[in-house]
């Protein structure tokens, strides 16, 4: 009989041992979705509809709905205790939702779902005593590849990462960053439809961080949908096209990153000049901050930013830069989570 938990949290049989070794640190949280039209063209790889999960009297997931568009990089965000783990366990079929439904590529999640997903958890799940090559061969075959397919795929990735001499090394001999590369290969070796990456750059130096970023973007170009979870908001802004923010079990913010930043902007602009500014400039009603050769202004709703630009130019000042100040995702994250905390 098919064991869903076994497919997600496998038990390894170490070479030369009769007893099985449970990977207790391998919580394969995964996501699943639907096949719906988006903007008349795009499809959704993952669709959640009014998902609810209650433990005793605690509502861990409360009517959560969102879609992950196919072929996009999507940020799953939320503070600790927000309900992300409970949500992921539902999506991976480890637990069932009390209400609602989850679709992967338009079909309800089922016993085949784990084979279509690759998940790299923040807490790595490699068996330290196994050799790297044997470990990857085992995991690849567990995900449905034949021995021949697994060996070829692993060889390709080893060549790409220039780590062919790692095959016979034990996992425990590798640094954290080196283990991260192996975990990444294990996650994508079976060419999943949906990839879930939780803090994928942890332990990597800048060179290897860029290497993994390049591979993430390449996988996206090949049509893989990617869910990216991190507490580093600057990484979310750099990588993600859309996000969902979960807090206290609820979806409190969802949409394209650019649209969300536009939604929370405060009509603030920064102007830089090629000379020191006269003191009278700081007395202007729109000026909320100023320095020797810059000002930050805030406009009222409906006020034209060009009128401010014209004002400075007409007063003989040479403007070298004029930029709208948009809030960072980190500022929006803190604002939204704090607002929910105050309401409760």
Whole-number average pLDDT of the chain: 84
C-alpha to C-alpha distance for 312 and 273, rounded to whole angstroms: 10
Same domain, 174 and 29: yes
Residue 249 falls inside a structural domain: yes
Residue 200 falls inside a structural domain: yes
User: Average pLDDT in the 300-327 region?
Assistant: 87
Q: Which residue has the higher pLDDT, 21 or 217?
A: 217
Q: Which residue has the higher pLDDT, 61 or 11?
A: 61
| Number of domains present in the structure of the chain | 2
- CATH at 190: 3.40.50.300
Residue 244 falls inside a structural domain: yes
Query: What per-residue confidence (pLDDT) applies to 341?
Result: 62
Residue 82 falls inside a structural domain: yes
Number of H helices, E strands in the chain: 10, 17
Residue 336 falls inside a structural domain: no
Same domain, 202 and 319: no
Same domain, 165 and 213: yes
Residue 337 falls inside a structural domain: no
Same domain, 63 and 178: yes
Q: Count other Cβ atoms within 10 Å, centred on residue 208.
A: 17
Same domain, 245 and 293: no
Query: What per-residue confidence (pLDDT) applies to 3?
Result: 41
Let me know: does 244 contact 76? Beta carbons within 8 Å. yes
Residue 342 falls inside a structural domain: no
The residue range of the domain holding 290 is: 266-325
pLDDT exceeds cutoff 90 at 101? yes
Degrees to nearest 5, angle at CA 198 with 135 and 226: 95
Produce one character per residue of 143-177: b if its CB has 16 or more CB atoms within 10 Å, e if not. bebeeeebbebbeebbeebebeebeeeebeebeee
Residue from 337, 332, 333, 328 nearest 234 by CA: 328
Same domain, 243 and 99: yes
Query: What per-residue confidence (pLDDT) applies to 301?
Result: 79
**12 alpha carbon, distance to own chain's centre:** 28
C-alpha to C-alpha distance for 296 and 316, rounded to whole angstroms: 18
Tokens of 23: 């990977």
- Residue that finishes a domain, picked among 231, 261, 291: 261
User: Average pLDDT in the 170-180 region?
Assistant: 91
**Which one-letter DSSP state was computed for residue 165?**
G
Q: Tens digits of per-residue pLDDT, 236-249?
A: 989 999 999 999 99
C-alpha to C-alpha distance for 40 and 48, rounded to whole angstroms: 19
Quick one: pLDDT band at residue 21, thresholds 50, 70, 90?
Answer: very low
C-alpha to C-alpha distance for 140 and 113, rounded to whole angstroms: 16
Residue 35 falls inside a structural domain: yes
Same domain, 198 and 291: no
Same domain, 90 and 30: yes
Let me know: does 28 contact 9? Beta carbons within 8 Å. yes
C-alpha to C-alpha distance for 64 and 212, rounded to whole angstroms: 31
Percent of the chain with pLDDT over 70: 86
Q: Which of 10-14, 132-136, 295-299 reaches the highest mean pLDDT?
A: 132-136
Q: Which of 116-120, 133-137, 289-293 reaches the highest mean pLDDT?
A: 133-137
pLDDT exceeds cutoff 90 at 138? yes
Same domain, 241 and 141: yes
Q: Tens digits of per-residue pLDDT, 193-211?
A: 999 898 888 888 999 999 9
Same domain, 39 and 131: yes
- Find the helix or strand (DSSP H, E) in which 69 lies: strand 58-69
- Find the helix or strand (DSSP H, E) in which 253 lies: strand 250-256
User: Average pLDDT in the 27-54 region?
Assistant: 63
- Residue that finishes a domain, picked among 261, 284, 302: 261
Same domain, 233 and 316: no
Query: What per-residue confidence (pLDDT) applies to 36?
Result: 38
- Residue that finishes a domain, picked among 236, 261, 286: 261
β-bridge mates for residue 43, sequence order: 37
Q: Tens digits of per-residue pLDDT, 49-96?
A: 999 999 988 999 999 999 999 999 999 998 888 888 788 788 878 788
- CATH at 301: 3.30.70.1560
Q: Count other Cβ atoms within 10 Å, centred on residue 339.
A: 12
Region of 334 (left: φ > 0; alpha: ψ -120 to 50; beta: rest) is alpha
Same domain, 251 and 271: no
Quick one: pLDDT band at residue 340, thresholds 50, 70, 90?
Answer: low
């Amino acid at each position: 009989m098919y064991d869903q938990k076994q497919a997600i949290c496998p038990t390894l049989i170490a070479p030369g041992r009769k007893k099985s070794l449970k990977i207790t640190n391998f919580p394969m949280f995964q996501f699943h979705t639907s096949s719906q039209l988006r903007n008349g063209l795009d499809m959704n790889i993952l669709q959640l509809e009014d998902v609810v999960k209650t433990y005793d009297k605690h509502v861990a997931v409360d009517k959560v709905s969102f879609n992950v568009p196919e072929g996009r990089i999507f940020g799953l965000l939320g503070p600790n205790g927000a309900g992300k783990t409970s949500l992921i366990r539902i999506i991976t079929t480890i637990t069932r939702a009390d209400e609602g439904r989850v679709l992967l590529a338009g079909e309800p999640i089922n016993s085949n779902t784990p084979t279509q997903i690759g998940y790299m958890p923040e807490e790595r799940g490699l068996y330290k005593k196994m050799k790297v090559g044997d470990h990857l061969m085992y995991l690849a075959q567990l995900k449905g590849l034949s021995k021949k397919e697994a060996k070829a795929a692993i060889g390709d990735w080893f060549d790409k990462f220039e780590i062919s001499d790692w095959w016979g090394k034990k996992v425990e001999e590798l640094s954290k960053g080196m283990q991260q590369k192996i975990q990444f290969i294990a996650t994508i070796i079976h060419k999943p439809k949906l990839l879930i990456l939780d803090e994928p750059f942890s332990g990597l130096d800048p060179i290897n961080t860029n290497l993994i970023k390049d591979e993430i973007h390449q996988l996206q170009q090949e049509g893989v949908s990617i869910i990216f979870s991190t507490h580093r908001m600057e990484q979310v802004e750099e990588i993600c096209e859309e996000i969902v923010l979960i807090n206290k079990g609820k979806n409190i913010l969802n949409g394209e990153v650019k649209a969300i930043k536009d939604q929370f902007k405060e009509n603030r602009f920064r102007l830089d000049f090629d000379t020191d500014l006269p003191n009278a400039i700081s007395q202007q009603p729109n000026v909320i901050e100023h320095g020797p050769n810059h000002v930050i202004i805030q406009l009222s709703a409906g006020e034209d930013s060009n009128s401010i630009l014209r004002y400075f130019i007409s007063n003989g000042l040479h403007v070298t830069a004029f930029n709208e100040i948009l809030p960072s995702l980190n500022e929006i994250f803190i604002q939204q989570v704090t607002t929910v905390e105050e309401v409760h």
